[in-house]
Structures are given as C-alpha cells and as structure tokens.
Structure 1
Amino acid sequence: MAKAPLNESAFDSAEYKRAEKQFRLVEKDLPEDALIAVAREVVRRLAFRMPRNAQKAGFPTKAEIERLCDALLSSDNRAADRVILEARQDGAAVEQIYLGYVAAAARRLGDLWDADKITFVDVTLACGKLFRIIRGLRHVIAPSIIENRAEHPAMFALVPGETHTLGIEIATDIFRRNGWDIDMMIGMDHETILDKAELRNYRAIVLVANSDVLIARLTRLVLALRISHPLAMIVVAGNILDHHPDIETLVGADDVIKDIEGAVERLKDVVELPAN
C-alpha cells in the first residue's frame, strides 16, 4: 500500500498539545458529574460521525478497532497515537481515520461504558486521547466535516442557562453595524445550538457566559463545537472571565474578549490569526 507519511502540514502538534493540556485541567478542576458529561459528549459526538451499520471498503476491521481501544485504555499515553499514525502512514484515507478508527473506537468505548466494563475514569482518559488526536489532525479531517457548508463569518451564542441577554444583543448590533453577518443564538439549549451551528462553517464562534456556575456547560459546548467546527476560532466573552483567569486553557478556547469596547477590532485580529 502506498505510504503517506505525516508531516507538519498534516499534523498540528501545537493543537495536539493544547488539547492534551486542556483535558488534564478539565480532569483536575471539574466535579465528577461535569466530567462525566464532558466524556459522554466527546464519545457521542465522535461516535455518530458515521452510521452504526455503515459498511465501507478499506475501513478498519473489528480487530483493528479493538487494538485502538486497548491502546486508548492502556497506561501508555502515546499508544493510541502510534496506532493512528501507523494507519495514516500505511495510506489510510481521511475517512478511514476519522469515520473508521475514531468513530468506531468512540462507539466501542461507549458500549463498554454502558455495559459497566470500564469506568468513567477509563473513558475520560480515553476520550482525552481521542480528542487530542482529532485536534492534531484537524486540518486533515476538516474538509470532510465542513463539506457543503456555507462559509459564514461568525456566530454569537449564549451558553445554555445564561439569562443575561443585553450584552450579547449589544455586541451583535455593534458587529452588524460594522458589516459583519452575525448569527445570534439566545435562549437555546445545548443540542439546538449544535444543530443550528452545523448548518454553516463559521470562521469565529463567540460564546458568552456571565455566571461562574456555567463553566461546565461552557466546557462541554466548546468541546462539541471543536468536533463539528475543527477550524473555527472559538472565543469566550462575558463576566465569567473575571472568575477564571485560565479559562482559555480550561475550556479550550482560542481567545477571550473582555469588553465590548474594541471588540470588533479584537475579533478581526482573532479571525485573521494564522491557523497554527
């Protein structure tokens, strides 16, 4: 089989390391129920990127998926990386890596968890490994995820549970008057935001939260959006920044906007940053 060696254009080592650091912080700072919700979110979002009964030529065998799951659940922190990189180097196409290996492994982990054959701690560690792999390969897998989506500048959304709407309404109005075509999502639950977000390919996504109690919901939403929008710049805004100076690392955001003054120019800077 033809070789397809990985190089810097195919593997984003900086984003891989960011994802790894984020999951370590999430495991440390979030309470157990929030951590369980995050793990289930990653498993579900990755697992259903391909129909459960899909059959495609060249996709990994059951034995290969078991090998990947064993690697994800092992104490060797880089074992799963080697399985994926070997498959890629052996010429596995993007669809095989993402829809085959990653999605199938996520489904298998979910089944094992539901059957109480592994603990949520096992799943959380495995999810962190899977998540950093897809972040490292984000440029490779992005075209298959955002295919046929219309390009759109930005989405502003209130984190589910946030009730203070004035700030996001003012910000949206300011951006629109500056020529930005902004989608604003207010009063929507987690699933609705994600369903609507998947209709477009956003260059920037701004998530607004004011209450400190929303940190777990914000983290879960960012992780889900990272899977559905691998190349979007995700920015956090709102008073929650006052309570969490390390919020970018904890939730996995690219940047923060601390106030409305100068926000337009700041977001322009964020969107125009190089992808790496």
Structure 2
Amino acid sequence: MPSLMRSARGVPTDDGGMLTRNWRRSDDSLSAFRSRVDLDDSRSLTTLIESEIIPRLMVAHATDLEPPAAEIEESGVTIDPAEVEALAPMALQVEADVLLAHVERILSRGVSVDTVMVDLLAPAARLLGEYWEDDRCDFIDVTMGLWRLQEIVHEIATPASPKRIGAGGSSSALFASMPGDGHSFGTVVIEEVFRRDGWETDRLSDATTPDLLKRVSAGWFDLIGLTISCDCHIAELPSLIAAMRNVSRNPRACVMVGGRVFAANPDLARQIGADGTARDAKVALKMATSLVRERAREAAHYR
C-alpha cells in the first residue's frame, strides 16, 4: 500500500487563491475524507473513491443536476476511452479553470451532461485511485484531483428545473448494492440517471439482507436494481432475488442486476432469476422502461 505522503502541492489557499473561478469548497467533507484515510490507511483508496468520493460527486448537489427535458435526451455523441485517459492526469496537473475549459470543449461538441458525468468524470476519478495504488502520485495529489473533478460537476450542472416526466413516467425504483459488497458507486450512478429521467427512486448502500428485504416489503417498487462488484456473491443471488419477489408489495416488480460479471455474460442474469441486465446506467434505463411497460400491459390484460 503506498504511503500517505504529505505533499503540499496543489492545496488551495484559504482565500481560494489557487483558482480564478469560484471554488465551491467543502472543507468539512475534505477534512473528514483525509482523516478517514489517515485513521484507516489499510483500505484501498479505490474503494474509498467508489464508496465516499464519487457518490459526493454525483449527488452532493443533486438539486443542481435537474436538466431541462431536452438536455436529457441522448445526443448520440459519446466519450472516447482516450479522453478518460487524458482527463485523469490533467486533474492532477492543472488548475480547475483549465480542466473546466477542457470539459466545456467536450460538451460543446454535443456530449450530454449525463454522458460527461457517467462516462468521463466518474471513470477518471476511478483512474486516479489506480494511479495512487500504483505509486504514480501521492495522497494529497489524488485528493486535490478529485476535488477538481467535483468542481467540474458543480460548474456543468444545469440550473434546477421541474422534474421531467419522461419515458419513466411515475414509475418507482429501488437500487441497492449487493449485501456484503461494500461498493456503492454503481448504485449512485444508476439512481441518478433514473431520477433525472423522472423516476421516483430510493437507494440502499451497505445494507444487510434483512435491511434490503424490509425496504422491498415496505414500499411499492416497479423496479428493483442490484449492483454486484464482487463475483463471489453470485451464488447468493438466486435465493436473494426469490426472497425479494416473495416479500415485494408489487407482485409484478421487475428485477435487474448489474456488474462486471453480467457485462461479460448477460445470459447469467436470467439464469439467476433476474429479468435482465445492461452494460451501463443509460441502457438500463431503456430496458427498465420497456420491462415496466410490459408488466403494466400484462396487469391491464388480466383485470
């Protein structure tokens, strides 16, 4: 595990002199993150990024992330993996103004804000964690790099607007990470994408199986989504999915699963009792909408 070197490089001054734009700092959150790593430096920084920092990037200012309906629509313009490779070192080396100008150029070619958050900023944040674990940068560097990425999220977030009632309509969804998994990044991203499309969403992180089943039985959900980051949990999924269906207040609730193992073998989702899987949150939104509509048609047919 790399040592936590105390480099002062890149630390902003109290008056914000490091940046020329407004720096929406959260000193308490940054101090808490540093203290947590100091007290428990045996944990992987990548895990901390996924469970602590990226969720803050995505939802700390959720009220700022409601775009106009037109902006939610997919533009068809995507992020090249090389752009992620380029952005991560930039976050370590340049000030936030320069980083923001780079991201704004990407947005100017028609890439949506959703795509930039899901396919550029979040992967770049994970890549910073890999840099640290490989001893390519120190702890202060990667912390400040992550904070610069957070500043980008603040700057590109559109003003709050009325919730869009789009393809999802008033459908409801519960998203949770697999009990015992500990990685909440996937759930944070997918909930944010569904929420921005107009779904009523709920999210559980670091929940036990009894906690998850209690939440499923307490509310009405059209969709239940599980994210699995560790392949070792696959054997537990059939019984968990069966239990969720058994206690669900909605007998026609759809269950979707996501994670690396399902990306490699999509057929596994149905084998373990789920209704489907998707390679990313945006594809999951389209699939879930289709599944929920189909279940609604079935229910109407049998009335």
**TM-score interval w.r.t. the shorter chain?**
0.3 to 0.5
